[in-house]
Amino acid sequence: MCDTHSATTSLSRDRIAPAIASAGVAVEPAHHRGGRPASPAAGGRADLLVVGRIATGDPAAPTAEAMAISDGRIIGLGSAADLDALTGPATQTVAPDGVVIPGLIEPHAHIWISLLTLDWVDVSHVACPRFDDVVTTLKAAAAHVPAGQPLLAKLFDPSLYPGEPALTRDILDRVATDRPVIVLNASMHFAYANTAALDAAGITDATPQPAGGTLEKVDGRLTGVVGESPAVTMLLARLPRPTEADIARGIRQVLTEFAAQGVTSMREAMTGTLAGVSEIAMLHQLNGAARLPVRVSTAQFSTLAGCTTPADVAAAWKAAGVTPFSGDEMVRADAWKIVADGSNQGRSGYFLQPYLGENTGGHANWTPEGLREVMRAGLDDGWQLMIHTNGDAAVEFALEAAEELLPQYAGGSTGDGRRGDLRHRFEHASVTTDDQLVRMASAGVSPSFLMDHVYYWGAAFRDTILGPARAARLDRLASASRAGLRASLHSDYNVTKVQPLHAAQTAVLRRLEADGTVLGPDERVTPAQALAAVTTDAAWQIHADDRGALRVGARADFAVADADPWTSDPAGWHDISVQATYIDGVPAYTA
Ligand SMILES: [Zn+2]
């Protein structure tokens, strides 16, 4: 067992247990109910009737004029006359001023690390088009930070400043020496520290390398660049922790941002990184106080501060009452997260061939035995695996382990049949071979693509990181679909903004922000395929088969938009705005 509360000071153990207890026990997974019509309210009458333009996202019946809802579920779709028998005196009618579309699904975003950085200085490529702007912005910000307080910045991306130096401690010491300066890479796989920040974190030239992380040194001296979560966590560990109030406010702020893009369900892709296992109880507490604006599915991180082995981490989650599919339909624990390699734009993704201008293609975060151990720890408890695999060698590395282990767990004997349908995922799977996609389909692993890698970083991948041939194989939604895989698109927020319709637009067009050219034209998909990847296929990947399309029996999760993406030009999807969202037929967000 391990002390998993070391990362938080504000939440007492006494308060966690009741919250978990009140959160309910394991619920029937959504996919067991998918497609089955819900029992209508007494008398078969709707409590809510939505009338207007409805785009269902269901290819079998793509449009409707009215939607009847009872107890949070859709009980009828069709013309207003069709639904007459389902309404009564108690039925409320709403006629939204816009197109009703299914609530969008964000299958991989980070709430916890993102809320930690909400107020950090923005040194993204958008805010700082030139490398010099990064340093200038940091210096200007340092002037406003009280003495002794750390200067914290986020979204730095060296891959978008080719030819410029790394952001080392020497450069950051020129920003400030009297306080810690920490800059987080946009990928969140790296951070950059000045000398005061290293000192404050207790990291010295003699500090041993943390397992799975890197404290970069040149000639035995720390450069201030640290890589991967275990090392980044060391650097951040002694910063002032956010208070419970900060966290509560941050979570609502982040989820409201998602809802403003039409999202009604999301997967938190690394739960436990900020406040350990208590993060689940905090989400339930918040949702209990006032319903969250977006449903949250959590992926429990397989590395926790205070734990030494994957089995310890698994035991800590279990001891906190966090087991597969536990919680409720607003906050549910669904997956086991593993990070097999780093960031491609940070040149720490693991590739079969070297990076441009280097003689190495990076490395994995685990030994083959270590990866199997951490996978087993999740599989033994019945979790869906969610494995970050960025480069093609990482995909190969994890796929070989999956091919070996998953058959040993197929079928299982848990008595509820879930083990045979866990829908394991590879996250990003940014570059893949044809053979890997076919093998993923047979192994029972599906990919989720950070599709806007293509839009924002496509030119950097093509010109300076991977070269044109590999860059054309980024985020192969068309090939994955041909291989029989159900794939989704995600933002990896706050690596990119949560904007599912923009990601879907990129999947159709594959145009680059930098020069407007098309990258990997063979990987373009149809509008319907792209939209499925942010609705029904993404819902399937988060075990929410009763969401993602508006059909009888599905949950009444929908958004009101100013255009119907299913019938409008994909080049304009980015500009579609959302006025409102509903969860279970109840307003969740209003613009
Ligand atoms: Zn991620």
Count Cβ atoms below 10 Å from residue 221 Cβ, excluding itself. Answer: 10
Distance 449 CA to ligand 1 centre (A): 11
Band (pLDDT 50/70/90 cuts) for residue 419 is: low
Band (pLDDT 50/70/90 cuts) for residue 332 is: very high
Same domain, 211 and 250: no
**Is 12 domain-assigned?**
no
Of 215, 236, 257, which marks where a domain is finished? 236
Distance 174 CA to ligand 1 centre (A): 32
Mean pLDDT of 141-153: 90
Structure tokens at 43: 């008398």
Distance 108 CA to ligand 1 centre (A): 6
Same domain, 546 and 471: yes
Query: Model confidence over 492-509: pLDDT tens digits?
Result: 998 899 999 999 999 999
Is the pLDDT reported for residue 412 higher than 80?
A: no
Neighbour-count burial of 226, counting CB atoms closer than 10 A to its CB (0-12 exposed, 13-18 middle, 19+ buried): buried
Distance 456 CA to ligand 1 centre (A): 16
Distance 109 CA to ligand 1 centre (A): 6
Same domain, 221 and 269: no
DSSP secondary structure string, 15-67?
Answer: HHHHHHHHT-S----GGGTTTSPPPPSGGG--SEEEEEEEE---TTS-EEEEE
Whole-number pLDDT of residue 13: 31
Q: How far apart are CA 269 and CA 491, in angstroms?
A: 11
Band (pLDDT 50/70/90 cuts) for residue 5 is: very low
Mean pLDDT of 255-277: 96
**Is 78 domain-assigned?**
no
CATH number of 210's domain = 3.10.310.70
Same domain, 275 and 219: no
Amino acid 413 reads: S
Is the pLDDT reported for residue 9 higher than 80?
A: no
Q: pLDDT: is 25 or 484 the higher one? A: 484
Same domain, 449 and 491: yes
Of 236, 271, 306, which marks where a domain is finished? 236
Band (pLDDT 50/70/90 cuts) for residue 413 is: very low
Overall number of domains in the chain: 2
Structure tokens at 65: 């004029």
Distance 95 CA to ligand 1 centre (A): 38
**Is 198 domain-assigned?**
yes
Structure tokens at 370: 């270590």
Q: How far apart are CA 176 and CA 558, in angstroms?
A: 49
Average pLDDT, the chain: 90
Q: pLDDT: is 44 or 321 the higher one? A: 321
Q: Is the distance from CB of 458 to CB of 472 less than 8 angstroms?
A: no
DSSP secondary structure string, 64-107?
Answer: EEEEEEETTEEEEEE-TTTTGGG--TT-EEE--SSEEEEPEEEE
- Which range marks the domain in which residue 216 is found? 114-236
Distance 42 CA to ligand 1 centre (A): 44
Is the pLDDT reported for residue 19 higher than 50?
A: no
Band (pLDDT 50/70/90 cuts) for residue 418 is: low
Of 180, 205, 236, which marks where a domain is finished? 236
Neighbour-count burial of 356, counting CB atoms closer than 10 A to its CB (0-12 exposed, 13-18 middle, 19+ buried): middle
Query: Model confidence over 169-195: pLDDT tens digits?
Result: 999 999 999 999 999 998 888 999 999
Q: pLDDT: is 469 or 23 the higher one? A: 469
**Is 435 domain-assigned?**
yes
Same domain, 298 and 338: yes
Range of lowest pLDDT (107-121, 323-337, 371-385, 534-548): 107-121
Range of lowest pLDDT (1-15, 148-162, 389-403, 427-441): 1-15
Q: What is the dihedral of CA 461, 466, 469, 472, to 10 degrees?
A: -30
Q: How far apart are CA 16 and CA 27, in angstroms?
A: 20
Is the pLDDT reported for residue 16 higher than 60?
A: no
Range of lowest pLDDT (36-45, 102-111, 288-297): 36-45
Distance 72 CA to ligand 1 centre (A): 31
Distance 490 CA to ligand 1 centre (A): 9
Same domain, 206 and 287: no
Same domain, 391 and 285: yes
Is the pLDDT reported for residue 8 higher than 90?
A: no
The model carries a pTM of 0.87
Distance 55 CA to ligand 1 centre (A): 30
In 437-585 the beta strands, taken as DSSP E runs, fall at 445-449, 488-489, 558-561, 578-583
Q: 559 in the Ramachandran plot: left (φ > 0), alpha (ψ -120 to 50) or beta?
A: beta
Same domain, 208 and 345: no
Tell me which DSSP letter residue 570 carries: G
Same domain, 256 and 314: yes
Least Cα distance to 86 among 37, 50, 54, 44 occurs for 44
Q: How far apart are CA 508 and CA 521, in angstroms?
A: 9
Neighbour-count burial of 18, counting CB atoms closer than 10 A to its CB (0-12 exposed, 13-18 middle, 19+ buried): exposed
% of the chain residues with pLDDT over 90: 80
Whole-number pLDDT of residue 73: 97
Q: What is the dihedral of CA 534, 540, 546, 547, to 10 degrees?
A: -20
Same domain, 265 and 220: no
**Is 88 domain-assigned?**
no
Same domain, 212 and 255: no
Mean pLDDT of 122-148: 93
Band (pLDDT 50/70/90 cuts) for residue 452 is: very high
Q: pLDDT: is 438 or 308 the higher one? A: 438
Whole-number pLDDT of residue 572: 98
Least Cα distance to 280 among 291, 290, 268 occurs for 268
**Is 22 domain-assigned?**
no
**Is 9 domain-assigned?**
no
Whole-number pLDDT of residue 146: 86
Whole-number pLDDT of residue 25: 32
Distance 159 CA to ligand 1 centre (A): 18
**Is 42 domain-assigned?**
no
Structure tokens at 467: 């070269």
Is the pLDDT reported for residue 267 higher than 80?
A: yes
Q: How far apart are CA 376 and CA 382, in angstroms?
A: 10
CATH number of 522's domain = 3.20.20.140
